[in-house]
Amino acid sequence: MNRIEAEKLYENSVRILKNNQHENGGFYASPPGTRYPFIYPRDHSIAILGCVSAGLMDEARKGLEFILSSQKPLGEFSQRYDVDGNDASYKDLQIDGNGLVLFVLGKYFQATGGSFFKEMADTAFIEKYWETIEKAVSFILLNKNEEVDLIHTINSIHEYPAYEHGFEIYANCACCAGIYAAVSMGKVLGKDVSEWEEQADIIKESILTRLYSPRRRSFIKCIRVKDKNSKPIGYDPFASTVLDIDAAEYAPAYFELIKDSDVKMITTAKRIHKHLWDKEIGGLNRYPEYWGRNNGGYGPWCHFTCELANHYIETDDQDQAEMYLDWVVDMAHNYTLPEHISTIERFELWLEDYTNAKILRDSKVKLIDDVRSHPKWKDGLAYVTIPLIWPHAEFVISYKKYSDKFH
Amino acid sequence: MIRLENMFPQAFLVGVTKMVDKDGTLETIHWLQEIGEELAALEGPGFEGAREDSINYLPICPFGSEITEFNEIYGHPAEFDDIVKKVYEMKKASDKPWEYPALTHALGVLQHSYSTKRAELAGAELYSLGSKSPKGDFKQFNEEALEKVGISKETVGQMLDRAFYVYKIVYPDKE
């Protein structure tokens, strides 16, 4: 690995995290004037995780204050917020946001001392927001189906209901890990969290059995079910399974429900790499091309590439970890990362497909202009949405892990 | 086509017409407004839809497909027109006409009360500048709201070419 370049990317990624936090605490998904100038709890949570990893604890705390204060009355953290913390959603439920907020709050608490160094831990912060934590857990459990013991959602990490509406793996892992984080924090505060712990154990068991295919030796993406209260779910109009590979199937290890060395995770990661590593330009695609929603052209995503690099770091596969992180370093433009990268050919193919199908939204006009005017276009590459903050946070996390382990 | 599984939206729309017949247009308007406000309180502060600076717009029509499907089955009930007509009468008689929705359909009453209540919870005022009918065949504007916020009808008309509802968000405290 080119360590000098990697270090520069790390430093700039930290800078980008700091520079894209609004004074109210929210991390933009992409800077003002670009494609996503809002605060998306999913992206925001990962930015906080990046801050915790980089030791930016004040920024992490401020980010948590922002999101915890923006909770909706029923306990939900919705799709996106404006800088004042007002709900600005235009999409349906994405319950992984609830899990993520709790998960990163737990990480922040742990980093300040957690249950181990109680005198240092930011217990006052957790105490202050305990009611918010309770409501967030309640909202997750409100969406639990008692027949399969899984959490129902409409959208998840890709905001793509066609493949995520139902009991989806990323959402379930995030929520389960979020409840476990709430349990840990509650125990430190002396709260009775036994019921939550029991529920988290039940959900985890269900993830490891119902969302895992022993014959495929892989986690699966989703059990499609339209209504969370369908009973029996076999009669639900959507009842089916999504068995395709998705980078999000790494979620059980990402959210620390199982270890990377668990055979379930090792075989799933192999399947992810086999089917999603881009044969033409490297990097990890998020899902199969034929799922058909490839805005800006099909191609690898920087943050999913970083996420899976974690797996190889954790399993001591330095060569593979370097291949993943090297790709991210190589593709950075001026030490800045895009959402994803495509080729001119694939970009034009996407444009043709969407134009013919008449599903090209007006809002994509700017995306198209930005891609074509980016300097990398002349190298034959389509850089879509640059910078996106999320991959910088993921690079901070995975590169730090890599450095700590191998150097 | 009605199936028990998807009957609810159609049942609600039939209910609106029955309510007009039974309790009158004004009562029905108040009923729709109360529903909108109650749901807004559950959902909390916010502005649903797309945003360009302080302009908030909805690229898709809320309840659009349900209304269209309903009209295909029932025709266009006169009770819906009665509601729209009544709201315009109320607007005309009001000394704050900019607070009323630019209405193309009866269910716009529900949507307007929901949206403005959520804005109010966020400490903002939300002005309905223009809307487009669920089938997209005609537009309505609130001239007084346009004048109050200083945006031209042409500008909003152009936005309505790619949206169904256009609002302006105003924070009185920040003005």
Q: Is the dihedral of CA A254, A255, A256, A261 positive or negative?
A: negative
Mean pLDDT of chain A: 96
pLDDT at A309: 98
- Cβ of residue A72 closer than 8 Å to a chain B Cβ: yes
- Domains of chain A, each with CATH number or no CATH: 38-276 (1.50.10.10), 277-407 (no CATH)
Alpha-carbon distance A254 to A394, whole Å?
11
Distance CA B55, CA A242 (A): 39
What's the pTM? 0.94
Residue A118 has pLDDT above 80, yes or no: no
H/E element holding A178? helix A169-189
pLDDT at site A5: 97
The list of chain B residues with pLDDT below 50 reads none
DSSP per position, B19-47: HHHHH-HHHHHHHHHHHHHHHHHHH-SB-
Q: How many CB atoms lie within 10 A of CB B150?
A: 7
Q: Give the CA distances from residue A6 to residues A10, A75, A236, A332, A337, in Å, rounded to whole numbers and listed in that order.
A: 6, 40, 49, 10, 12
> Hey, of B4, B39, B42, B43, which one would you mutate to test binding to chain A, going by the most A CBs within 10 A of its CB?
B43
Looking at the predicted structure, is the pLDDT value of residue A268 above 90? yes
d(CA B87, CA B101) in angstroms, rounded, equals 8
pLDDT of B175 reads 61
The more confident residue out of A363 and A321 is A321
- Residues of chain A with Cβ-Cβ distance to B124 below 8 Å are 86
CA distances from A212 to A230, A266, B171 (A): 22, 13, 50
Q: What residues contact residue A378 under an 8 Å CB cut-off, 6+ apart?
A: none
User: pLDDT above 70 covers what percent of chain A?
Assistant: 100
Cβ B47–A86 below 8 Å, yes or no?
yes
Residues of B in contact with A136 (CB under 8 A): none
Q: What is the DSSP letter of A234?
A: G
Expressed in percent and rounded to 5, the helix, strand and coil fractions of chain A are 55, 10, 35
- pLDDT surpasses 70 at A272: yes
Query: Where does the pLDDT of residue A391 fall: very low under 50, low under 70, confident under 90, or very high at 90 and above?
Result: very high
Over range A385-399, report the average pLDDT. 97
Q: For residues A389 and B175, what is the distance between their CA atoms, to the nearest angstrom?
A: 32
pLDDT value for B6: 83
Q: How far apart (Å, rounded) are the C-alpha atoms in residues A374 and A388?
A: 14
For residue A343, what are the contacts with CB-CB under 8 A and spacing of at least 6?
A280, A281, A297, A299, A380, A381, A382
Band of residue A114 on the pLDDT scale cut at 50, 70, 90: confident
Q: Is the pLDDT of residue A150 over 90?
A: yes
Q: Is B6 on the interface with A (CB under 8 A)?
A: no
Chain A CB within 8 Å of residue B51 CB: yes
Helices and strands (DSSP H and E) totals, chain B = 7, 5
User: Is the pLDDT reported for residue A251 higher than 70?
Assistant: yes
Q: Under a CB-based contact definition with an 8 Å cutoff, are residues A121 and A106 in contact?
A: no
Give the residue from chain B lying closest to A82, CA to CA.
B46
Quick one: pLDDT band at residue A283, thresholds 50, 70, 90? very high
Which residue(s) pair with A87 in the sheet?
A81, B46
pLDDT in the model for residue B56: 96
Contacts of A361 in chain B (CB under 8 A): 59
Q: Is the peptide bond before A387 cis (omega within 30 degrees of 0)?
A: yes
> What is residue A156's predicted lDDT score, i.e. its pLDDT?
97
B41 touching A (Cβ < 8 Å): yes
For A159-205, the pLDDT digits (tens) are 999 999 999 999 999 999 999 999 999 999 999 999 999 999 999 99
What confidence tens digit (pLDDT) does each residue in A204-224 have? Answer: 999 999 999 999 999 999 999
